[in-house]
C-alpha cells in the first residue's frame, strides 16, 4: 500500500528545488496519512476543485535557470542531417535502383526486382506491391532511368506518409504526454530530448518517472532533467506508478506547467498485469483532468524493422495509441518501416530519431523524409 501525506494547506506547493527530494511514500501515524486510493477518491468526489485555480509559479522565484535555446541549424543543414541519418537505407535503395534501372525498359523482370528492393528496405509487401502496381500502370514498356525512378518513388512514398505528418498539439495546460513501448526502444532518451526541445521553445516542462521498478530508468531520466533544467517527479523503488503520475499532474497544475512528460516501464503486449497498469495510470490521470492523457505516444525502434510494425499492432489493440516516435533510424537500412507504419496504422508519426544529438530528434516531414529515403538532394 502506498501512502501520501494529507495536505493541511492545499495552496502550498513545493518549489521545483524540492521535487527531487520530496518522497512519495511516508510512514507516519494513522491520523496523519491516507491511502492513495482514498486520496484519489476524495479528489474525485470534491464538488469544487481548486486544482485549476492555483496561480502560476512566479518566475522570479523559480530556481531553474533561464531556458538555453538549442542551436538551430539552417533548414539546409537540417535536411543534410536527415539525409545523413537515413543514409544506410538510402544507400541500399539508391544503389539497388542504379543497378536495376540503367535506361532499360520497364518490364516484368525489372518490376519484380524493384518490388524485392522495396521489401528489403522494410516497406512491407503491401506497400511494395502498391508502388509497383502504380508504376506499372503508367510507365510499363517505357525506358526509365534510375534518377527518374527515384523521383517517382519519392512522390509515391510522400503520398503514403503525408497523412501522418502531424505534430504534437498543445491544447491543454498542462498537456500530458505518456510514452509507452517495449524495453530498449528509447522511451527515456526520447522524452529527455523532447524536454530539452520544448524548454528551448519557451515551454515549461516537467518529467515524471513512472518506471519505478527499474532504478536505471529513473536515474537516466534524472540526468535528462538536469540537462534540460526541468523538474522531475520520482517515487520510491517499486512504488505504484499510478501514484507517481497522480502527484506529477497535481504538481504540474500547481506550477502552471505547459507540458508533463511521463516515462513508463517497458512492457510486452502479452504481459497482462503491465498492460493493466497502463490502464490504471490513465484512470488516475482522469481523476484530475478528464481529458488526460492528451497524447499516448508509442516509441518504436527503427532497427527492428517489421517487428516494430507488429509491436504497434499489438499495443494499438490493447491501449489507445495516439501517435508514434520512431528512433534509431540512423543505425539501420530498414528506414522503410516508417512507410509501412503509415500505411498500416495511419496514426501520426510525431518525431523520428536519426542520430544521437538533440537536433537529431526531428519532427516528421513527409516530403523531406521521402526524398532523403531514396537519396535525393
Written as nine digits, the cell of 23 is: 518522497
Would you state the pLDDT for residue 102?
A: 64
Tell me which residues of the chain have a pLDDT lower than 50.
1-73
Q: What is the pLDDT of residue 274?
A: 79
CA distance 52 to 373: 46
Prediction pTM value = 0.77
* Cis omega (within 30 of 0) for bond into 144: no
Q: Where are the domains of the chain?
A: 164-373
DSSP summary character for residue 56: P
Q: What's residue 78's pLDDT? A: 59
Distance CA 74, CA 222 (A): 31
User: In degrees, to the nearest 5, what angle opens at C-alpha 227 toward C-alphas 226 and 232?
Assistant: 35
CA distance 226 to 240: 24
What is 164-373's CATH number, 3.30.360.10, 3.40.50.300, 3.40.50.360, 2.40.110.10? Answer: 3.40.50.300
Q: Among candidates 350, 367, 17, 316, which has minimal Cα distance to 194?
A: 350
pLDDT for res 85: 74
Mean pLDDT of the chain: 80
Angle between helices 366-373 and 75-85 (to 10 degrees): 50
**What tens digit of pLDDT does each residue of 323-361 get?**
999 999 988 888 899 999 999 999 999 999 988 887 788
Per-residue pLDDT at 30? 31
Strand (E) or helix (H) holding 241: helix 241-254
| Confidence at residue 46, expressed as pLDDT on a 0 to 100 scale | 38
Amino acid at each position: 500500500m502506498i501512502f501520501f501525506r494529507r495536505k493541511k494547506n492545499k495552496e502550498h506547493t513545493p518549489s521545483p528545488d524540492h521535487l527531487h527530494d520530496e518522497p512519495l511514500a511516508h510512514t507516519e501515524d494513522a491520523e496523519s496519512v491516507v491511502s492513495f486510493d482514498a486520496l484519489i477518491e476524495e479528489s474525485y468526489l470534491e464538488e469544487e476543485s481548486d486544482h485549476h485555480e492555483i496561480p502560476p509559479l512566479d518566475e522570479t522565484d523559480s530556481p531553474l535557470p533561464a531556458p538555453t535555446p538549442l542551436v538551430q541549424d539552417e533548414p539546409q543543414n537540417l535536411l543534410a542531417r536527415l539525409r545523413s541519418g537515413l543514409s544506410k537505407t538510402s544507400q541500399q535503395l539508391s544503389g539497388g535502383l542504379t543497378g536495376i534501372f540503367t535506361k532499360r525498359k520497364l518490364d516484368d523482370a525489372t518490376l519484380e526486382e524493384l518490388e524485392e528492393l522495396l521489401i528489403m528496405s522494410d516497406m512491407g509487401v503491401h506497400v511494395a506491391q502498391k508502388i509497383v502496381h502504380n508504376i506499372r500502370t503508367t510507365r510499363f514498356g517505357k525506358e526509365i532511368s534510375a534518377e527518374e525512378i527515384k523521383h517517382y518513388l519519392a512522390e509515391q512514398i510522400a503520398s503514403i506518409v503525408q497523412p501522418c505528418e502531424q505534430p504534437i498539439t498543445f491544447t491543454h495546460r498542462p498537456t500530458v504526454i505518456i510514452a509507452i513501448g517495449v524495453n530498449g526502444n528509447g522511451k527515456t532518451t526520447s522524452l529527455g530530448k523532447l524536454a530539452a526541445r520544448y524548454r528551448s521553445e519557451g515551454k515549461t516542462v516537467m518529467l515524471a518517472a513512472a518506471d519505478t521498478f527499474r532504478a536505471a530508468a529513473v536515474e537516466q531520466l534524472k540526468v535528462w532533467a538536469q540537462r534540460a533544467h526541468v523538474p522531475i517527479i520520482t517515487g520510491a523503488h517499486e512504488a505504484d506508478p499510478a501514484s507517481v503520475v497522480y502527484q506529477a499532474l497535481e504538481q504540474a497544475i500547481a506550477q502552471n506547467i505547459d507540458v508533463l512528460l511521463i516515462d513508463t516501464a517497458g512492457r510486452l503486449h502479452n504481459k497482462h498485469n503491465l498492460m493493466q497498469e497502463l490502464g490504471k495510470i490513465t484512470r488516475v490521470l482522469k481523476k484530475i483532468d478528464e481529458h488526460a492523457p492528451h497524447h499516448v505516444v508509442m516509441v518504436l525502434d527503427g532497427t527492428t524493422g517489421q517487428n516494430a510494425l507488429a509491436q504497434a499492432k499489438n499495443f494499438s489493440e490493447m491501449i489507445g495509441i495516439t501517435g508514434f516516435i520512431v528512433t534509431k533510424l540512423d543505425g539501420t537500412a530498414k528506414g522503410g518501416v516508417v512507410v509501412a507504419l503509415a500505411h498500416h496504422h495511419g496514426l501520426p508519426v510525431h518525431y523520428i530519431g536519426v542520430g544521437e544529438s538533440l537536433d537529431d530528434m526531428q519532427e516528421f516531414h513527409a516530403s523531406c523524409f521521402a526524398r532523403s529515403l531514396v537519396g535525393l538532394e
